[in-house]
Structure 1
């Protein structure tokens, strides 16, 4: 009697397990696949790893997959977490799923325009389960990084130190009225004696050319 009851319960549990699996629409799987490493980068090779991007950059998520069967699925979900008025909080940008075995996978996210400044993330799923989240942000380059005030001496190739604003010397031309005075002054002092004829000539034309 006991043996028969045990068999009935075993069959019942087996049927229940099968029914639950069928209702869930998923197969019971024990995969050895794992994400060994995942980084964000500015290039497809993953050599420029970063968590801070410029508005014109392409986002790359580089994933190293290990112990993975051929049908292992890895999905990247890109989200704009907080970009101010540019989009609603936690705005879904895109999601891509790849099927692969062992190896390095590269996910990228591009924009036709500039990325709004703010915080972002990419969620990485392994066979439908969230494995990890990589947070990053976008910010515009600092003003000092846009250009340099240093100059290069063409004679020796050395870089000169940044110069301060020059001090205006006494008598220097600082306005249109000063320019008129300077021209008159130079013309007045621009005479010379011709050694051949011994005459003093007015060099106003030549003198004004010195300005």
Structure 2
């Protein structure tokens, strides 16, 4: 009788540990899924802003309004994006930050928007930029995700 109790106890104890571990792992997975992990940048598109629309381009003219269109996997509320526009090498300037723009997705911001997963980062300017190399660094929730390099001709 004693021999039967010990193996039964060991089996029950082992099953108890297994179920507890599985339950804790599932709870950790549910707690760990936040917008930081769910939202991704699917693609970026260089574009020239013309009136109220965007035209995809490979490079810009010095008097264009520059734009990078960022397409997200989903427009998750609370997602933070940032674009840093930089002159890499143009004129007599090297690695000069031009503009930093931050956006946070809110319910009001995407309400009624035709493409809520598209974020437009545009750079307008009064004076033409010199010909050369430029870049826009795209951050998703404070993490650099994409660097878009382009030329101004």
* Structure 2 CA distance for aligned equivalents of residues 99 and 45 of structure 1: 22
Match of 2:149 in 1: 135
TM-score with structure 2 setting the length: 0.65
Contact 1:51 1:135 in 2 (8 A): no
Higher gyration radius (CA): 1
Q: Return structure 1 stretches of 4+ with deviation > 3 angstroms.
A: none
For structure 2, the 5+ residue unaligned runs are 1-32, 107-115
**Structure with more strand by fraction:** 2
> Residue 54 of structure 1: SS of its match in structure 2?
coil
Q: Is 2:47–2:66's contact at 8 Å kept on the other side of the alignment?
A: yes
Bigger relative contact order, structure 1 or 2 (CA pairs below 8 A, ≥6 apart): 2
Deviation, structure 1 residue 68:
4.2
Give the Å deviation of 1:49: 0.9
RMSD of the TM alignment (CA)? 1.8
TM-score, normalised to structure 1, is 0.48
Match of 1:33 in 2: 39
Query: How many equivalent residue pairs?
Result: 109
Query: In the TM superposition, what are the counterparts of 1:150-161 in structure 2 within 5 Å?
Result: none
Contact 1:55 1:116 in 2 (8 A): yes
Alignment of 1:62-77 (within 5 A): 62-77=69-84
